[in-house]
Amino acid sequence: MSTYITNGFILNVKPWREGDRLYTLFTDSAGKVEAVASGSRKVSSKLSPHLVPFSEINLMVARGRQRDRLASASLLQAYLKPPFNLPTMVLGSALLEVTDALTRVGEREPRLLNLLRQCLIDLSQLPHKEDEWRPAARWLLANYLVEIFKYTGLAITLTHCEHCRGELTEPVFFSWTSHGFYHQTHLPPGDTTAVLVPEVLAWLIKAAGPGVSQTEGLPAPVLAFLTDYVQGHSGQELYTIKVLRSIL
């Protein structure tokens, strides 16, 4: 049985058989992997204290015929530490759930790993006052979504109509069914569509080009569109995004 050593982050964890857990990890050398941590649900487990959420972990993974197994783990850096700020923990969980939903096992993307690491650092530095936390958290989520779309082939490009390939002019419509941008006259029949309001369109164009400064603010409709966009492409309702919307 071959083994490899890598650093990574926990994206998801769930019970697996009696006394075990199945971890979904995003790693630097193997991309997204799933591995079983034997006995990790037991109090005496030596692995569990190192398998901490919102942390970077050094892992030894043993390849298996059906499932890889975690042979050892060593906590390198915990970006969020107890006592957790609940809204910040929900935001961090949303970043991890989005990453899990938009990536596939075996896919390796070092830029995404670096993005996730930086966002967890930024997460740990969010202000504590609610009136300061909310705009900073909204910006962090929006920026992460825009960047992860680029690294997973889902970049929002507002350069052409998906039907005629011609340059887009206002009003611009987005199809939630076909996941594309269209002229009003070229909307796919029967698709669920929405017109992009000017502030959303302007923000998306700038984000796709030179970028948007945090000082410019984030209109509420932009974040609503981005979270709908990620859920549309993931093909599922993301629980943490749903909860986060009520907080932000």
Mean pLDDT within 126-142:
93
CA distance linking residue 21 with residue 36, whole number of Å: 6
Q: Where in the chain is the domain with CATH 2.40.50.140?
A: 3-78
- Tens-digit pLDDT profile for residues 202-227: 898 888 877 788 877 888 999 999 99
For strands 31-37 and 68-78, give the pairing: parallel
Mean pLDDT within 136-140:
94
pLDDT at position 1: 65
Mean pLDDT within 169-193:
90
SS3 220: helix
CA distances to 159, 172, 212 from 168, rounded to whole Å, are 6, 7, 21
CA distance linking residue 155 with residue 229, whole number of Å: 11
pLDDT at position 83: 79
Mean pLDDT within 3-28:
95
For strands 3-16 and 55-62, give the pairing: antiparallel
The residue with tokens 């941008």 is 181
Cα 130 → chain centroid: 23
pLDDT at position 235: 86
pLDDT tier at 17, thresholds 50, 70, 90: confident
- Tens-digit pLDDT profile for residues 114-124: 999 999 999 99
Question: Which range has the worst mean pLDDT, 9-18, 98-107, 122-131, 208-217?
Answer: 208-217
Q: What is the DSSP string of 184-198?
A: GGGPPTT--EEEPPH
CA distance linking residue 44 with residue 233, whole number of Å: 41
CA distance linking residue 148 with residue 150, whole number of Å: 5
Task: Report the interhelical angle of 198-208 vs 220-234 (nearest 10°).
Answer: 70
Of 85, 207, 188, 187, the closest CA to residue 139 belongs to 207
CA geometry: angle 192, 138, 102, nearest 5 deg: 55
- Tens-digit pLDDT profile for residues 43-76: 889 999 999 999 999 999 999 888 899 999 999 9
pLDDT at position 35: 96
Mean pLDDT within 166-175:
89
CA distance linking residue 69 with residue 20, whole number of Å: 10
Mean pLDDT within 84-95:
93
pLDDT at position 212: 80
Q: Where in the chain is the domain with CATH 1.20.1440?
A: 86-156+193-247
- Does the domain at 3-78 match CATH 2.40.50.140? Answer given as yes
CB 115 within 8 A of CB 148: yes
pLDDT at position 36: 96
Q: What is the CATH number of domain 86-156+193-247?
A: 1.20.1440
